[in-house]
């Protein structure tokens, strides 16, 4: 089987792990771990899983979870209202609501729940992508799209669980969600930052803040 990395398009791919459901591969160039493409769900199957999620805008526990990204992002951006986009907002765009409450102007986009294509025609001071990047079947395409949405000097704020190593991956619950197919690590984000001219800051275990350099 001929494979290429769905993120950096390298052909230098190695076997990484196998469980009862799927095989996983790792790119030797950018270190992305990805599920066997033959095991990807159809759009209908994927949405059926998302429809079971219960992310409610008013849920205080969910807001505390999202504040792990929102708080450091707003600290980095400083004072003043900014224009932002929540990319992959899901059925309950709580993060957008939280940032609006803090005084920022927000747009939302989600291919299933907020397919507002006009939101993708603008550029923003910041773009958030929480618990979405691991769902990307073709992350090379979405990554380029995310970067193009951010103004020079702006921020791309991502939340996703990170791969540590093969032994930890073996028992990792995160890979058991059939819609989770692209697994990033710190090494992956460092690769992307160096390649694409970004400053990168890791906050805790699952928040990555990237700043696009001024042109």
What is the structure's pLDDT at 214? 83
Q: Are 152 and 196 in contact (CB under 8 A)?
A: no
- d(C-alpha 161, C-alpha 146), whole Å: 19
From first to last of its 215 residues, the chain has per-residue pLDDT tens of 579 999 999 999 999 999 999 999 999 999 999 999 999 998 889 888 877 766 666 678 889 999 999 999 999 999 999 999 999 998 889 999 999 999 999 999 999 999 999 999 999 999 999 999 999 999 999 999 999 999 999 999 999 999 999 999 999 999 999 999 999 999 999 999 999 999 999 999 999 999 998 87
pTM: 0.94
What is the structure's pLDDT at 50? 79
What is the structure's pLDDT at 55? 62
What is the structure's pLDDT at 81? 96
């Amino acid at each position: 089987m001929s494979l290429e990395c769905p993120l950096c398009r390298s052909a230098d791919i190695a076997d990484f792990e196998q469980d009862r459901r799927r095989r996983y591969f790792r790119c030797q160039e950018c270190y992305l771990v990805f599920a066997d493409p033959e095991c990807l769900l159809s759009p209908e199957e994927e949405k059926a899983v998302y429809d079971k999620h219960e992310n409610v805008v008013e849920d205080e526990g969910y807001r505390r979870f999202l504040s792990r990204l929102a708080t450091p992002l707003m600290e980095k951006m400083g004072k003043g209202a900014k224009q932002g986009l929540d990319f992959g907002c899901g059925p309950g765009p709580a993060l957008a609501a939280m940032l609006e409450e803090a005084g920022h102007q927000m747009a939302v986009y989600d291919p299933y729940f907020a397919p507002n294509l006009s939101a993708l025609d603008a550029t923003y001071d910041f773009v958030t992508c929480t618990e979405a990047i691991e769902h990307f079947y073709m992350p090379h395409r979405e990554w380029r799209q995310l970067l193009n949405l951010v103004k020079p000097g702006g921020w791309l704020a991502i939340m996703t669980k990170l791969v540590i190593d093969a032994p930890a991956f073996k028992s990792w619950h995160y890979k058991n969600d059939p819609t989770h197919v692209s697994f990033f690590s710190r090494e992956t984000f460092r690769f992307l930052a160096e390649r694409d001219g970004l400053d990168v800051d890791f906050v805790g275990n699952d928040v990555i803040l990237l700043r696009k350099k001024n042109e």
